[in-house]
Amino acid sequence: MDTNIQSTLQEDRLFQPPAKFAAQARIPNREALDALREKAEQDHEGFWAEQAREELDWHTPFESVLDDSKAPRYQWFADGKINVSHNCLDRHLAQRGDKTAIVFEGEQGDTRHISYAELHRDVCRFANGLKSLGVASGDRVVIYMPMVPEAVIAMQACARIGATHSVVFGGFSAEALKDRIENAAAKVVITADGGHRGGKVVELKAAADQALSNGCDSIEKVVVLKRAGNDIGFQPGRDIWWSELMEGQAETCEPTWVGSEHPLFLLYTSGSTGKPKGIEHSSAGYLLGAITTMKWVFDINDNDVFWCTADVGWVTGHTYVAYGPLACGATMLMYEGAPTVPDAGRFWKICEDHNVSIFYTAPTAIRALMKAGDAFPQQYDLSSIRLLGTVGEPINPEAWMWYHRVIGGERCPIVDTWWQTETGAHMIAPMPGAVATKPGSCTLPLPGIAADVVDADGNSIEQPNQGGFLVIRKPWPSMVRGVWGDDQRFYDTYWKQFDTQKFYLAGDNARRDEDGYFWIMGRIDDVLNVSGHRLGTMEVESALVAHPLVAEAAVVSRPHDIKGESIFAFVVLRGERPEGGIDKSLTRELREWVGKQIGAIAKPDDMRFADNLPKTRSGKIMRRLLRTIACGEEITQDTSTLENEGIVLQLQGKA
């Protein structure tokens, strides 16, 4: 079998759902899936209303299903009342109180098992603690934590009292944290002294202190979990230890019943231009998306140990760590650290030690672990795994085949799940007992998800393998509700392009093959995708330009074996251009600088200094040209419109 296929276009392998898997699956065949899909097509609202009645525990049932009077701020189940934390915890207590909700493993090997009853108790106590700090329904709380159970407890506690959380990835810098606190005007920050990652202590409290040292006036309290035991500064009156806040708090806390549309969380995500956007999600609709996809795509059941490796700082860590598994009463695993500590066998050791049955990670991690060699996974017994998943970017067939063969032992289906921060939950993904998979394709839209590929006029592209815009033609319950504080940007980014048709513009290019399978081709704008994380070019560029020596910068991505894409920066200095366009020590300094401003993930891998950047007459940087140069490809674009054509040689490093 040829496993070295470069272009997904040549991919014609088809993997039928293994009979053994299908036999036990919730959706056991294509007929069952088609029946669901048909039901949704015939009555979109009725379908989702039925799901919402079946899957969610309502305090006040809804009458209104879809309200489009404030479109594109669509509202689902708007007159119903609900509490997300009640749906994740309380409703399981009678039957699953002693069942393990969270299996935790720290990077240094410490483990904890937390039952549903214990989790419920801790969430209630912490919720009462937050209330005692004056946090009320509608307030924003920023969570800047390592991957420890307390991060989930904090999120669930916010949900319990109707506070809207905004989790900031622990790998982000003080500067990024500050921007997000200020944009959301948050009242409280929940953080930790530090977390363990890659054999080091990530000093979260120090970064939070720095963020708060100038600005962030809305912050009243800082809650600090003791995790790594590192020395920290402590500001009495403002700072309070997690343990002190928990002390003496009642072990129950009546959930605050909120409207379905109450904002459960904000999550900041990058666009191609401007500052990160605070993506707003609802309560009921969001949770419904989390639950239906846990059941349809992950086929979750009571015996599973579910492990999604994503950090809670990303949407995947919201839907498939903090909410989805708990809402389904499942056992889920959380791991604090890096996949390579102490070696590249760590993930596989964890799978063996804790009997992981469903494993969900990103292609970037799969590629890195594949590169480390088969010897690592072969040391461990991976027979507990029954289902594998990927998310974040297209997976190249070579990595897919490795995942299938070496990790899945050729017996586990792989679910390649396409979705976005904005969609809240999986949108295009196989139901593993019902859909044959093709390496590199996310396969078919889920029931009730009207995904389509259209041309610039919004017409469906019927011809197979013709690329176009990926759109969603009808609203769905877990969809983004807005961009925090910026309705115009919400409209401009997602709705403006297909305004008359009212389609949601995903921002990706995609094609459909002869079988109707979707293949994601890339983003239509300039967003970088490093290790499965979206970064805006603008964010990196503005970080570079913030350095006193830098006048102007443009960053583009180029393909990278491990990270998917790496960042190539073209920099114009305020002073003299270094000899030959290369300056190693300045490159090092600027990389560190970007790391401080945004986070290590945004550090450019390559940097070249030029006297100027290639621009169009209207002053727009010619990114396509820069990408060609970054990839070392031959230039076919017309460069005659450039002010200084000689600049091309400089940019290529040839002058």
Residues that bind ligand WT7 (CB under 6 A): 269, 315-316, 391-394, 416-421, 442, 506-508, 520, 523, 534
- Residue 291: strand, helix, or coil: helix
Output 85 or 531, the one with its CB closest to ligand WT7.
531
**What are the C-alpha distances in Å from 593 to residues 179, 214, 218?**
17, 19, 27
Rounded to the nearest whole angstrom, what is the least distance from the CB of residue 69 to ligand WT7 in the complex?
28
Residue 610's DSSP bridge partners are 572
Place of tokens 């995708």: 529
Output 156 or 529, the one with its CB closest to ligand WT7.
529
Rounded distance, CA 269 to CA 264, Å? 16
Output 429 or 544, the one with its CB closest to ligand WT7.
429
Place of tokens 């701020």: 73
Output 128 or 316, the one with its CB closest to ligand WT7.
316
Rounded to the nearest whole angstrom, what is the least distance from the CB of residue 204 to ligand WT7 in the complex?
22
Output 416 or 526, the one with its CB closest to ligand WT7.
416
The backbone torsions φ and ψ at residue 30, rounded to the nearest 5 degrees and listed phi first, read -65, -35
Rounded to the nearest whole angstrom, what is the least distance from the CB of residue 429 to ligand WT7 in the complex?
8
**What are the C-alpha distances in Å from 109 to residues 115, 337, 546, 585?**
20, 10, 40, 38
Output 11 or 416, the one with its CB closest to ligand WT7.
416
Please say whether the beta carbons of 81 and 60 come within 8 A.
Answer: yes
Output 129 or 278, the one with its CB closest to ligand WT7.
278
User: What does the block give as tokens for 305?
Assistant: 């140990």
Beta strands 66-67 and 75-76 are: antiparallel
Rounded to the nearest whole angstrom, what is the least distance from the CB of residue 316 to ligand WT7 in the complex?
5
Rounded to the nearest whole angstrom, what is the least distance from the CB of residue 443 to ligand WT7 in the complex?
10
Rounded to the nearest whole angstrom, what is the least distance from the CB of residue 134 to ligand WT7 in the complex?
33
Output 119 or 506, the one with its CB closest to ligand WT7.
506
Please say whether the beta carbons of 8 and 440 come within 8 A.
Answer: yes
> At 165, which helix (H) or strand (E)?
strand 164-167
Rounded to the nearest whole angstrom, what is the least distance from the CB of residue 317 to ligand WT7 in the complex?
9
Rounded to the nearest whole angstrom, what is the least distance from the CB of residue 532 to ligand WT7 in the complex?
6
Rounded to the nearest whole angstrom, what is the least distance from the CB of residue 486 to ligand WT7 in the complex?
17
- Residue 503: strand, helix, or coil: coil
Rounded distance, CA 479 to CA 74, Å? 8
**What are the C-alpha distances in Å from 607 to residues 98, 313, 537, 548, 625?**
55, 28, 14, 17, 16
- Give the per-residue SS3 of 13-81: CCECCCHHHHHHCCCCCHHHHHHHHHHHHHCHHHHHHHHHHHHCCCCECCCCCEECCCCCCCEECCCCE
Please say whether the beta carbons of 193 and 227 come within 8 A.
Answer: yes
Output 105 or 393, the one with its CB closest to ligand WT7.
393
Rounded distance, CA 299 to CA 360, Å? 13
Rounded to the nearest whole angstrom, what is the least distance from the CB of residue 109 to ligand WT7 in the complex?
28
Output 283 or 316, the one with its CB closest to ligand WT7.
316
Place of tokens 């550090």: 603
DSSP secondary structure string for all residues of 480-503 = --EETT-HHHHHHHHTSTTTTTT-
Rounded to the nearest whole angstrom, what is the least distance from the CB of residue 620 to ligand WT7 in the complex?
23
Rounded to the nearest whole angstrom, what is the least distance from the CB of residue 318 to ligand WT7 in the complex?
10
DSSP secondary structure string for all residues of 446-467 = PTT--EEEE-TTS-B--STT--
Rounded distance, CA 144 to CA 129, Å? 17
Please say whether the beta carbons of 419 and 427 come within 8 A.
Answer: yes
Output 393 or 526, the one with its CB closest to ligand WT7.
393
Going by C-alpha positions, the residue among 354, 346, 279 that lies closest to residue 102 is: 354
Output 106 or 392, the one with its CB closest to ligand WT7.
392
Residues belonging to the chain: 655
Quote the distance between the C-alpha of residue 183 and its chain's center. Answer: 20
Report the residue closest to ligand WT7, judged by CB: 421
